[in-house]
Amino acid sequence: MALPQTFKALVVSETAEKTFVREIKQRSLSDLPAGELIIEVKYSSLNYKDALSASGNKGVTRKYPHTPGIDAAGIVVTSTTKMFSAGDQVTVTGFDFGMNTSGGFGQYISVPALWATKVPPSLSLRDSMGYGTAGLTAALCLIRLMASGLTKESGEVLVTGATGGVGSLAVAMLAKLGFNVVAATGKEGEKDFLTGLGAKAIISRDEANDTSGRPLQKERWAGVVDTVGGNILATALKTAKYGSSVAACGNAMSVDLNINVFPFILRGVSLLGVDSVQIPMRARQMAWTKLAGEWGVDLSTIVKEVALEGLEAEIEKILKGGVRGRVVVDLSR
Ligand SMILES: NC(=O)c1ccc[n+]([C@@H]2O[C@H](COP(=O)([O-])OP(=O)(O)OC[C@H]3O[C@@H](n4cnc5c(N)ncnc54)[C@H](OP(=O)(O)O)[C@@H]3O)[C@@H](O)[C@H]2O)c1
């Protein structure tokens, strides 16, 4: 397949006044970094981290102009390694992709082969981005919780930030697997959405955010998927049942965790850190296999699809915690 000279991409640039502007532009293929794989991106998706990169957060992206997008699914056009051949369908997530390496909000990418994973045959490229990094992270949380002893019989499992990308997929996957899921949300109006995904009960963000200052609370959760951090994570630890585990993967509320050691030393609660960026390839492939198989969920109510031109509104929305579910970006439009 012949490569084009230029391709369409979202480009974020820093102005002389240190503000950031987002434009859709034609970029030259020769501007991409040297990589073992050149991939034609068919779909990408929007994650919270992309919105940070797209708005000039130097903790995520140091140098601009930059094309964000930490997720991409597409077709290998050229490969200099035996691991992949032209025509292979792949996802690219994690590592430096979309952070300081040109990302999935452009129609072509150039990456090291180790950043790519072959898409399982039962998963479409579009659905692979319906999951994306959010789905991978939700799956990794479930893998860690189950490896720590969580079963369907253990009791209620809390998911915080439940209408977000990671949260909504965690709710849907847990429900599909037969767990008794409780969703914590700040969006009063999204109860039907969450019960539609399979949540058995819904609690408000306030209820999940104990401000009493007490070191321990009544035990309730047999397991927790926490996507928000801060005092909600502290509350989850204080209300986790004896011997249970809390998987922490996000910081939508705060990066801080102010708690004493009582949940750990009096109730044997475990805090499981979950990272999707640097995890070894075998764990990544295991999670994708689960998503393509028995953990796969109905994405129709979770996914909203936009073209590159539609991203602007979604970036603004996700920065305010206002996105429901997942936003998939169709790069062919
Ligand atoms: N560890 C990893 O490898 C990894 C991978 C992916 C994502 N993450 C992190 O996981 C988090 C979720 O990512 P995402 O892509 O799912 O983001 P998202 O779609 O924006 O979802 C975050 C959700 O958190 C809740 N929320 C937002 N602001 C909040 C606040 N101030 N206090 C309490 N809750 C708040 C909202 O849900 P409700 O309105 O329903 O409460 C929101 O929808 C982010 O912090 C992201 O950086 C980590």
Q: What is the pLDDT of residues 134-177, one digit of tens each?
A: 999 999 999 999 999 999 999 999 999 999 999 999 999 999 99
Strand partners, 211: none
Name the residue of 45, 50, 97, 249 to mutate for ligand 1: max ligand atoms within 8 A of Cβ: 249
CATH tag, 6-119+302-330: 3.90.180.10
Q: One-letter amino acid identity for 144?
A: R
Residue with tokens 């965690």: 170
Nearest CA to ligand 1 atom 22: 164
**What percent of the chain clears pLDDT 70, i.e. is strictly above it?**
100
pLDDT (0 to 100) of residue 241: 98
Query: Which ligand 1 atom is at minimum distance from the Cα of 277?
Result: 3
User: Which helix (DSSP H) or strand (DSSP E) does residue 118 occupy?
Assistant: strand 116-118
pLDDT (0 to 100) of residue 49: 96
In the chain, what are the domain boundaries?
Answer: 6-119+302-330, 134-273
Nearest CA to ligand 1 atom 46: 250
Query: Which ligand 1 atom is at minimum distance from the Cα of 276?
Result: 3
Tell me how far apart the alpha carbons of residues 158 and 246 are, in angstroms, rounded to a whole number: 9
Tell me how far apart the alpha carbons of residues 232 and 269 are, in angstroms, rounded to a whole number: 16
CATH tag, 134-273: 3.40.50.720
Residue 131: count other Cβ atoms within 10 Å of its Cβ: 33
Tell me how far apart the alpha carbons of residues 33 and 36 are, in angstroms, rounded to a whole number: 10
Q: Give residues (CB < 6 A) around ligand 1.
A: 47-49, 133-134, 137, 161-167, 185-187, 205, 227-228, 232, 249-253, 274-277, 318, 321, 323
> Over the chain, what is the mean pLDDT?
97
CB 130 within 8 A of CB 54: no
* Residue spans of beta strands (DSSP E) within 175-239: 180-185, 201-204, 221-226
pLDDT (0 to 100) of residue 333: 83
pLDDT (0 to 100) of residue 2: 77
**Closest by CA position to 137, among listed 50, 218, 249:** 249
Ligand 1 center to 166 CA (angstroms): 7
pLDDT (0 to 100) of residue 294: 96
| Residues of the chain falling short of pLDDT 50 | none
pLDDT (0 to 100) of residue 38: 97
Ligand 1 center to 134 CA (angstroms): 9
Strand partners, 307: 330
